Amino acid sequence: MSETPIRKPAAIELVALTKRYASGAAAVDGIDLRIAPGSYCCLLGPSGCGKSTTLRMIAGHETASEGDILLEGRNITGLPAAERGTAMMFQSFALFPHLSALDNVAFSLRMRGVAKDERILRAQELLDRVAMGPLAERKPAELSGGQQQRVALARALATQPRVLLLDEPLSALDPFLRVQMRAELRRWQKDLGLTFVHVTHSQEEAMALADTMVVMNRGRIEQVGAPREVYNAPSTEFVARFMGGHNVIETAAGKVAVRTDQLQVAPAGSAAAGLAGTVTDVEYQGTYVLLGLHATGAGGNGAVSAMLPEAVFASRPYATGESVQLSWAARQAHPLAA
Ligand code: ADP
Ligand code: MG
């Protein structure tokens, strides 16, 4: 007799999940997705592509028009938010300014009918868990951004969720704090061993955080993979352009993506095959020099760019207006689906 392999259920599985609001095209259009337990998943895409709607349907703050949502194999599509095993962390943490850290956390337990003594005890435990125990009596204004985030995390953990949902939690922070906070989120996710589903429109943020990145466009999923897989081999023109750092080049075999740091530049007339081009821009950016180019080769490609390491540029500088030859290694050209 052969053994049936037991597939560990996904933390979250979406099956043909669709949301239609009263008017217009579907905001979320039949998406299928499996999110591995204990992983950090980022939903990434431009504004309006359906990220928040997807997250709100998982949370139970929005009904699904069609399709199913499974949490660890359990169908939660029709359950009220409080019975799903998910918790939500909102933008800028949404702490009550007039309540102490302890009371902020205890408040969510009160909403769940936990008795007073019990909720103080549990709130203190939760704050201890995120290393905020000693600051339990402080109000949000007396805490740093990082400390506020930890209070918000403790509050979200109060309901013992299996999956934590985060909708652009960092986007209202200044850039310096944002980078610090994302490192901390990542650390907590690993320490707690929970599944995080984090919505962001920032490629950089998603790449820094995600085990799995889900790139969305117009209510659909364009590509799913680890950040390196998606960045190194975008499967569609949309993903190549949205991720940045790629040129989309028309070739006889169709469109390909070539990373800007993999586009080779040589003086015109040199042996290399490839596209002819003209330098339109030279930007010094520290460790590298970014060349803006107008390609005039086979497909009449228009604007492309090349990133040259500073030393390479220094050994053979190019000037605006100069004619060049552009080429790339075959394995650096990723065919794009039409
Ligand atoms: P994202 O979070 O990726 O920016 P959303 O999920 O908020 O995108 O929105 C997806 C689409 O659904 C957009 O076109 C938006 O205008 C529309 N939408 C979002 N919420 C509502 C709503 N409550 N009623 C009607 N349309 C909505
Ligand atoms: Mg949104």
pLDDT at 205: 96
Task: Report pTM.
Answer: 0.89
Could you give the C-alpha distances from 153 to 31, 229, 322, in angstroms and in order? 28, 30, 55
Last residue of a domain, one of 200, 232, 264: 232
3-class state of residue 53 by DSSP: helix
Distance, in Å, from the CA atom of 182 to the CA atom of 102, rounded to the nearest integer, reads 23
Do residues 131 and 60 both lie within one domain?
Answer: yes
Count CA atoms closer than 13 A to 20's CA, side-chain side. 9
Structural domain boundaries enclosing 326: 247-335
Residue 255: CATH number of its domain:
2.40.50.140
24 by DSSP, 3-state: which? coil
Q: Does the pLDDT at position 52 exceed 80? A: yes
Which of 232, 256, 278 is where one domain is finished?
232
Residue with the smallest CA separation from ligand 1 atom 14 is 48
Q: Would you state the structure tokens that stand for residue 253, as one six-digit string?
A: 């075999």
Tell me the sheet residues that pair with 217: 220
Best residue among 53, 198, 221 to mutate for probing ligand 1, ranked by most atoms within 8 Å of CB? 53
For residue 230, what are the CA distances in angstroms to 20, 37, 95, 206? 28, 20, 35, 11
Same domain, yes or no: 259 and 173? no
Q: Is 148 a domain residue?
A: yes
Are 225 and 283 contained in the same domain?
Answer: no
Which residue would you say has higher pLDDT here, 5 or 98?
98
Say if CB 283 and CB 313 are below 8 A apart. Answer: no
Over the stretch 215-249, which tens digit does the pLDDT of each residue have? 999 999 999 999 999 999 999 999 999 999 999 99
Query: How far, in Å, CA of 212 to CA of 226, rounded?
Result: 5
At residue 269 the predicted structure's pLDDT band, cuts being 50, 70 and 90, is confident
Q: What average pLDDT does the segment 167-176 reach? A: 84
Confidence check: pLDDT of 91 > 80: no
Amino acid at 201: H
Using a 10 angstrom Cβ sphere, with 0-12 exposed, 13-18 middle and 19 or more buried, the burial of residue 24 is exposed
What is the average pLDDT value for the chain, to the nearest integer? 91
**Coil, strand or helix: which one is 206?**
helix
Q: How confident is the model at residue 271 (pLDDT cuts 50, 70, 90)?
A: low
The reported pLDDT for the residue numbered 206 is 97
**Residue 173: CATH number of its domain:** 3.40.50.300
Question: Of 118, 157, 125, whose CA–CA distance to 110 is shortest?
Answer: 118
For residue 130, the model assigns a pLDDT of 85
Q: Which of 179, 209, 232 is the last residue of a domain?
A: 232
Identify which of 18, 21, 197 to mutate to test ligand 1's pocket (most ligand atoms within 8 A of the CB): 21
Backbone φ and ψ for 255, nearest 5 degrees, come out as -75, 140
Angle formed at CA 233 by CA 232 and CA 239, multiple of 5 degrees: 100
C-alpha 97/C-alpha 117 separation (Å) is: 23
Radius of gyration, CA atoms only, the chain: 24
**Both 157 and 295 in a single domain?**
no
CA dist 241 → 106, 118, 249, 260, 331 (Å)? 45, 52, 11, 12, 19
Q: What percent of the chain has pLDDT over 70?
A: 95
Ligand nearest 48 Cα, by number? 1
Quick one: 79 and 218 in the same domain?
yes
Q: Do 128 and 158 meet the contact criterion of CB atoms below 8 Å apart?
A: no
The residue contributing the CA closest to ligand 1 atom 10 is: 50
b/e 96-133 (16+ beta carbons within 10 angstroms → b): eeeebbbbbbbbbbeeeebeeeebbebbbebbebbebe
Whether 3 is covered by a domain: the verdict is no
For 179-197, what is each residue's pLDDT tens digit? 888 998 999 899 889 999 9
Closest-approaching ligand to the CA atom of 49 = 1
pLDDT given at position 6: 66
Whether residues 42 and 134 share a domain: the answer is: yes
Query: Which strand (E) or helix (H) includes residue 102?
Result: helix 101-111
Which residues on adjacent β-strands are paired with residue 213? 42, 225
Residue 298 pLDDT class (50, 70, 90 cuts): low
Distance 285 CA to ligand 1 centre (A): 37
Residue 195 lies in a domain: yes
Quick one: 196 and 298 in the same domain? no
245-266 pLDDT per residue, tens: 999 998 888 899 999 999 999 9
- Ligand 2 centre from 235 Cα, in Å? 24
158 lies in the same domain as 279:
no
**Does residue 260 share a domain with residue 179?**
no
Asked if residue 239 is part of any domain, the answer here is: no
Position with higher pLDDT, 269 vs 309: 309
Run of H or E including 175: helix 175-192
Task: Report the pocket of ligand 1 as residue ranges, CB < 6 Å.
Answer: 21, 27, 45, 47-53
Tokens linked to 18: 């669709």
What is the Å distance from ligand 1's center to 53 Cα? Answer: 6
pLDDT at 172 over 90: no
Ligand number, closest to the Cα atom of 47:
1
Q: Specify whether 142 is located in the same domain as 268.
A: no
**pLDDT at site 338:** 73
Q: How many A from CA of 55 to the centre of ligand 1? A: 11
Give the DSSP per-residue string, 118-169.
HHHHHHHHHHHHTT-GGGTT--GGGS-HHHHHHHHHHHHHTT--SEEEEEST
pLDDT reading at 110 higher than 90:
no
pLDDT the model gives residue 299: 55
> Residue 297 above 70 pLDDT?
no
